[in-house]
Amino acid sequence: MKLPYAFSAALAFALGASWASAETVLRYSSWIPATHPMTSEVCEPWAAEVERVTEGRVKIEVLPKVVGTVPTQFEVVRDGLVDIALIVDGYSPGRFKVNGIVELPFLGDSAQAITIAYWRIHEKHLAKFGEYANAVPIGKAAVGAMNLASGPGPIDSVDKFAGLKIRVPNATSSKIVADLGGAPVNKPISEMYELISTGVVDGMISSLETIKTFKVQDSIKNLLLAPGGLSGTGVSFVVNEERLAELSDADREAFWSVSGEVMPASIGQLYIRLNEEGKQSVIDAGGQVTEAPAAMVDELKTRLAGVDAAWIEQAHAAGLENAAEVLAEFRAEIAKVEAELATQ
């Protein structure tokens, strides 16, 4: 009787040791070029931190190619085809209603301030609406002020938007372009070079970073910069909720210790630099930069007043009863973070 007992005890110990040392590999579908700083300065350091804080029990595996398409990365994670991906929220039209708050015009010029404020407002007011069902945001960011980069120009009055075919990343910027008299073309960023270099569109509403990243600076002759930006866009790192739940309590706590607001801070810092580099690439290629004149800014704000109102109405319909107050709080939080960053 002693032998079977000893054997079973040894077997239980061995299985326990095996379980304790088992690795969890989370598969990451990346559509961003490996040379993009988002990969080398955000994703790779974050993956290394996850492995470090979990003492090697959780590892991030970057897959050799994107699973699915760029616009369907949310569904790919939600449905468990991969575990983690970076999504552009605006590529899922109609899904992110309350989170569309980050796409509104004139939010601010600092990608870092908008990003940090966006994470905070999401956690406080927006997360409860479950717009990321089964694809939990582990980091959210704004790419900074989006403005008009075009071949025609300079665009120094609102009237000059008339008839311009402009690539946009989301429904909000599509409304903005239409309200200004242009023709919006909703296409993913991965198609930017072909669209602009071949003249299918006259320009784009985008963060300035994309100009250099997607090598369109030779086609961009003019930049129009409006204080706070004409629009914005949100990106989210999401993880499959079921896979996250499979982690032990200790590993899940460690995972979150290097995610959440930690990730937005680093992404925001990165986009400040990248947006400046994108602007400089236009100048170096012989393009010009136009700061919107005061009279034009006033007219832009008048023409685009309905964009805020449309988001408030949409958020109300989604159940956010104090949508106007949340938007005011978001703008105030951005200003607060901008002031804090200025003193650092």
Amino acid 29 reads S
Tokens (6 digits) for 54: 């979990």
Closest of 340, 336, 300, 290 to residue 106, by C-alpha: 300
Strands (E), 96-202: 135-142, 147-150, 165-168, 183-186
In a domain, residue 68? The reply is yes
In a domain, residue 16? The reply is no
In a domain, residue 77? The reply is yes
Distance CA 31, CA 138 (A): 18
| Residues 115 and 258 reside in one and the same domain | yes
| Residues 131 and 158 reside in one and the same domain | no
Structural domain of residue 257, as residue ranges?
24-143+233-272
Indicate the average pLDDT of the chain. Answer: 90
| Residues 60 and 177 reside in one and the same domain | no
In a domain, residue 12? The reply is no
Q: Tokens 């669209």 correspond to what residue?
A: 195
| Residues 109 and 241 reside in one and the same domain | yes
Report pLDDT digits (tens) over 49-88.
999 999 999 999 999 899 999 999 999 999 999 999 999 9
| Residues 79 and 158 reside in one and the same domain | no
Q: Which strand (E) or helix (H) includes residue 26?
A: strand 24-29
| Residues 168 and 131 reside in one and the same domain | no
In a domain, residue 3? The reply is no
The model's pTM? 0.87
In a domain, residue 277? The reply is no
pLDDT tens, N- to C-terminus, the chain (344 residues) = 444 434 334 444 344 433 444 689 999 999 888 888 888 899 999 999 999 999 999 999 999 899 999 999 999 999 999 999 999 998 888 899 999 999 999 999 999 999 999 999 999 999 999 999 999 999 998 988 999 999 999 999 999 999 999 999 899 999 999 999 999 998 887 788 899 889 999 999 999 999 998 899 999 999 999 999 999 999 999 999 999 999 999 999 999 999 988 887 788 889 999 999 999 999 999 999 999 999 999 999 999 999 999 999 999 999 999 999 999 999 999 999 999 988 88
In a domain, residue 321? The reply is yes
Q: Tokens 């905070």 correspond to what residue?
A: 120
Q: Is 32 exposed, middle or buried (0-12, 13-18, 19+ CB in 10 A)?
A: middle
Query: Contact, 158 vs 181, CB < 8 A?
Result: yes
| Residues 206 and 295 reside in one and the same domain | yes
| Residues 72 and 208 reside in one and the same domain | no
- Domain boundary pick from 218, 241, 272: 272
In a domain, residue 14? The reply is no
| Residues 76 and 114 reside in one and the same domain | yes
| Residues 239 and 97 reside in one and the same domain | yes
| Residues 189 and 331 reside in one and the same domain | yes
Total domains in the fold of the chain: 2
| Residues 98 and 220 reside in one and the same domain | no
Which CATH number does the domain housing residue 41 bear? 3.40.190.170
